[in-house]
Structure formats: C-alpha cells, structure tokens
Amino acid sequence: MQRSVPSRAPLVALFLAVAAAVTAAAWLYAYHQALGPLAARGRSDLLLAADRLVTQLQRYREFAVLTADHPALAALHEGGDPEPARAMLREGADKTGTSAIAYRTPNGRILAAAGDRMANDVADAPFFRRAVGGALGARLVTDPARAREPGSRLFTYAAPQFGPDGRVRGVLTVSVDLARLEQEWRGTLPTVYFLDASGVVVATNRSEILGWERHDDGRVTSPGGRTYRVETVTRAGYPIRLQDWSPYVPRAALLLREPLPVIGLDAFALIDVRPARRIATLQASAVLAVVLFFGAILFLVSERRRALTLANAELETRVASRTRDLVDANVQLTREVAERQEAEAALKRAQAELVQAEKLSALGRMSAGISHELNQPLMAIRSFAENGAAFLERDRADRAADNFGRISEMTRRMGRIIRNLRLFARQESAPAGRVDLAQVVASAIELTEARARAEGVALVRAGEAGPVWVRGGEVRLGQVVVNLVTNALDAMADAGGTAREVTVTLTGGAAPAIAVADTGPGIEAPERLFDPFYSTKAVGAGMGLGLSISYGLVQSFGGDVRGENRADGPGAVFTVTLEPWRDAEEAA
C-alpha cells in the first residue's frame, strides 16, 4: 500500500517568508549600525567646514580690530591729511581681499575708504550702533535673488576707535564677500550649507542651492520662485532628509546641524546615506546566503530522512509481502533454472542451426551457377558417350578412347565441384590444424566463379599461388572466404556502370592474409558490419549473420577480420588475417 506524500510547498513558502523577514531585519539593523559611523564622519566634516568659514571670517575681524587703532586713522581727527589713511586702507584691502573698508564718524560720515562696495546706510544699523557703543559689531547682508552674483552676500565687521578721553570717536567697517571665501572650499566634503536667521542659504559648497530659503512648514523655495517640499524621517535617532533639490545633492541624506553663534549662522551638512545602504545590503545579502545555505542543508537532510522513512516503510511492506511468497518463489526459481538450462541448450542448438542455415542460404544463392556448372559437363558427357558408341560401331577405337578420356576428365571436374560443395555444407568440429590457405582460396573461387560469370563480374585471383600454411580449419576457412566473395558479388548488383570486378589477394609471410576487394558502392556503416542480423541487402536476401559468423570463426583461429572502404576508388575491401602455422605446433 503506497502512502500519500504531503506537499512541501507550504513549508518552503514559510521558510522563504522567514528568510525574507530575517534578511529585512538584518538589513535594517546593519543600516542603523552604519548610520552611527556615517554620522560621526559627517559631523567631523561639518565641523571642519564650519571651522574653516569661522576661521576665514576671524581673519577679517582681527584685521578690523587691529586696523581701527592705526595712527593714520587717528590723525584724521586732528585735521591730518586723509590721503595716508586712504593709502593704508587700500593696501590693507589688497592684502586681505576685503571688498570694502571705511572709517566713519559715529554718525556714519566716511572719513577714509577703500573699495567699491561701500554701504551708506549704516548709521542706524544695529551692528554699527554696537560699535559706537564700544563693542565689536557684525552684520550679514544678503540678496537671495542675486545670491550667485558677486557682492550679494557681504559680511561686515564694525570695530570702534577710542579717543584720549576713552570715548568712541570713529568706527572702522570691514566688508568681505562670502563668494570669495567659498572659492577655497567649494565642491569639497559632503554637501554643506549655512543658513542665516531668516533661513536663507548664504554660503555653501554646492553653488546651485545658493539663495534657497527654508520655511517653517517644510517648504524650500529657490531664488527663481520654484517650491520644493522636503521630508524628514528619523532612523535610529538620526534625522534623514528626503529631497529633490539638485542632482548634486543626495536625495536621501543624513541631516546634521551645528549652530555658529560667533558669526550668527547655522551650519548644516547632508551626508549621503547610500554607503550605509550598500553596507546594509552587503550584510543582508550575506545573512540571506547563510540562511539559504543552512536552510537548503536542513531541507535536504529532512527530505533525506523523510525519504528514508518512506523507503523503510515501503521496504517493510515489501518484505512482509515477499516473505509470504518465499516458499513458492523457491519452487518457481527451481523450475525456472531448469527451464533456463533447457533454453540455453536450445539456444546453442539454434545458433548452430543458424550457422548452418546461413551456409545453406549461401548454397542456395550459388545453386544457379553451380547447376549450370554441372549441367555443362553432363551434356558433354552425354555427347562424348554417344560419339564413343558410334566410333566403336565403326571400329574406330582410337577416337572412342579419346571421347572416353574426355568423359573421365569431365567426371573428375564434377566430382571436384561436388566435393567442395560437400565440404562447404557440412559442419566441421575438428580442432584447428595445418591448412593450405592457397587451396582454400582455390576451392572458394571454384564454388563462386560460375555465379560471377553468370552475373558478368570478373573474379580475379592475385597474390601468391604456392602453399601458404596457416593455423585453422579447412572447412570453416572455406566458409569464410565463400561468404566474403558472395557478399562482394551481391554488392556488384548496385555497381551501376563501374567496372564490375572482385579481386581475391593472398599474401603469405609472418602475417598471412586474404583480401577480398570489390568495386561496389562501399560500406555505409563500417562500425556495424559484424553486428548480428545487420544487413544492407533487400528484405529476404539474407539474415545478416554471414559476417558475424565469419568474424567468430576467424577469431576462434586467433585471427582478425577487418572491413573498410577502398582508398583507391569505389568499393569495399575485407581483409582476413591469420596466424602462420609453425612446425613446433605440429611437433607438440
């Protein structure tokens, strides 16, 4: 009884779902873990960028403080010539890259100046009034609509100059264009930008976002008036900004902020999270590979155990079933052994009969020619006998004796043909002995030449004519040669207009051989020549056993048979190689 096998699809689906969940959890964990180092590196880059901007502005602050007490400026209050002060301010502006320098009275009137971007509306500005009060003032003036143009972002320091009475008698304003400072660090580090109190990007290393304004409702407006909405999500305690500002600003970035109260700005950095995602993807892929690997192992182990369990149950069922029939099977086996022994004996008899049948089939194919060969001597004998009787009646004994001699020669010829037929037809069981291969070839040609003449085929004998002694059986070797010649004659039926010729070549020496060559169409499948029942003849023209039997006979003598297409033209050649007879064998 065969048990039903439950489907494994739900279990596989559950495993894949668990693997997907584990992989997702691994990805999320690795992503959160990677955000920490990414944020640390981003924080370092942000501090570096902020420090760079602060340091650069600090130089102009110090320049304003130190230059405010210059003697050339103090001389202006004592009625001195303003030209030395102007020259000093021009030289300072050239060396520091300052956009504009102006020394003013507390009410804002300019006493000396250098540069072409001078601000005239500073008298009431908070930063200027701070300087008039004795402290250092600073102001950033921006124009978002012209953020990318020179002079649109001026950072100005105001430093007081104190008179002998301790009161502020002048203010030095130093203005620097932030665009000049950006040239030194634009394009480096991650995306870094600085916002003023109104939320406008006043400095950045990505020029395409200059002048962008951030609103409290999450909107971002470009100087051209286009509005974008950004979204901020939190991952592992870190804010992630999702945006589409520019192809040079990452779409998903870690948002870092650093307030800069010294210069009144806020520094921001957008750190691309793609490295963290790549790390998370790699780790999740590794986890997935491990889960799938061990899952596959567990699946294979479970399937093997399941298969073994089913096989064990099936085996037990079969053993129980077979045990009941064991006694009957033993009896049946005994009967089958006896039947097979009888079948084997019958097979051997059938094989022998097949061999004999093949020989008789060959005899049948030769019968027409042999009948003609025997009929001619019989007709001649009858004619010579009648002539001899007539000569005796006329007392011409010499002529009668001549006719009787011809009759005797004809009978010897008929006897030779009949003897060869008897030898060919009978079954030889004697062991291999000393055989003259030349006589075997002569007998085979004598049996087949009548058919060859009848079919218009030239049967040519070549090679050695004298005795060639080999180890074999005379009758069996004769059967082999007759079969090869007969097959060659059969091949001539499809020779068409080519020269119809069968050549039997005998060679002696250390490797005696017989080569039967024809000019027929050749061999289509040389590798199947000696397979039993393989034949290229028409149905009913043969059983396909001749070459197979010949191959077995020659091998029983220690020889070999080889068939191949002729290299010098159309046709095939079969070569039978035999072992030479040695006198030592006869002595033994």
pLDDT digit string (tens) for 469-516?
888 877 778 778 888 888 888 877 766 656 788 888 888 888 898 889
Confidence of residue 357 (pLDDT cuts 50, 70, 90): low
The mean pLDDT value for 524-544 works out to 56
- Of 23, 35, 22, which Cα lies nearest the Cα of 281? 23
Contacts of 194 (CB under 8 A, 6+ apart): 50, 53, 201, 202, 203, 204, 260, 265, 266, 267, 268
Contacts of 183 (CB under 8 A, 6+ apart): none
Statement: the pTM of the whole predicted model exceeds 0.75:
no
Beta carbons of 122 and 108 less than 8 angstroms apart: yes
pLDDT digit string (tens) for 73-132?
888 888 778 888 888 888 888 888 888 898 888 888 888 888 766 666 787 888 888 888
Beta carbons of 575 and 514 less than 8 angstroms apart: yes
pLDDT digit string (tens) for 25-37?
888 888 788 788 8
Q: What percent of the chain stands above pLDDT 90?
A: 0
Where do runs of H (alpha helix) occur along 426-545? 437-454, 474-492
The mean pLDDT value for 518-545 works out to 61
User: Across the chain, how many H-helices and E-strands are there?
Assistant: 12, 21
What is the overall mean pLDDT for the chain? Answer: 77
Using the predicted structure, report yes or no on whether residue 345 has a pLDDT greater than 60: yes
The full length of the chain comes to: 588
Q: Enter the DSSP assignment of 579.
A: P
Using the predicted structure, report yes or no on whether residue 168 has a pLDDT greater than 60: yes
**How far is the C-alpha of 52 from the C-alpha of 318, rounded, in Å?**
88
Which structure tokens are listed for 95? 């060396």
The mean pLDDT value for 361-380 works out to 58
Beta carbons of 371 and 414 less than 8 angstroms apart: no
Residue 107: burial class (beta carbons within 10 Å; 0-12, 13-18, 19+): exposed
Residue 160: its pLDDT value, please? 92
pLDDT digit string (tens) for 427-473?
555 567 888 888 888 888 877 887 788 888 888 888 877 788 888 87
Residue 566: its pLDDT value, please? 82
Using the predicted structure, report yes or no on whether residue 538 has a pLDDT greater than 60: no
**How far is the C-alpha of 511 from the C-alpha of 571, rounded, in Å?**
24
**How far is the C-alpha of 476 from the C-alpha of 432, rounded, in Å?**
10
Neighbours of 588 (CB within 10 A): 6
The mean pLDDT value for 541-556 works out to 66
Sign of the torsion angle spanned by Cα atoms 275, 277, 281, 283:
positive
Which structure tokens are listed for 84? 């030395």
- Of 368, 491, 490, 472, which Cα lies nearest the Cα of 428? 472
Top-ranked range on mean pLDDT: pick from 56-70, 472-486, 534-548: 56-70
The residue whose two tokens read 């962008």 is: 212
**How far is the C-alpha of 382 from the C-alpha of 414, rounded, in Å?**
14
Using the predicted structure, report yes or no on whether residue 350 has a pLDDT greater than 70: no
The mean pLDDT value for 362-385 works out to 60
Please count the CA atoms within 13 angstroms of the CA of 559 that sit on its side-chain side: 28
- Beta strands at 458-463 and 501-507: parallel, antiparallel or unpaired: parallel
| From 280-284, 499-503, 527-531, 536-540, the region with the lowest mean pLDDT | 536-540
Residue 539: its pLDDT value, please? 41
Q: What percent of the chain stands above pLDDT 70?
A: 79
Confidence of residue 540 (pLDDT cuts 50, 70, 90): very low
Helix (H), strand (E), coil (C) string for 138-201? EEEEECHHHCCCCCCEEEEEEEEEECCCCCEEEEEEEEEEHHHHHCCCCCCCCEEEEECCCCEE
**How far is the C-alpha of 484 from the C-alpha of 536, rounded, in Å?**
14
Please count the CA atoms within 13 angstroms of the CA of 407 that sit on its side-chain side: 15
**How far is the C-alpha of 529 from the C-alpha of 535, rounded, in Å?**
8
| Paired strand residues for 193 | 204, 268
Q: Which residue has better confidence, 525 or 570?
A: 570
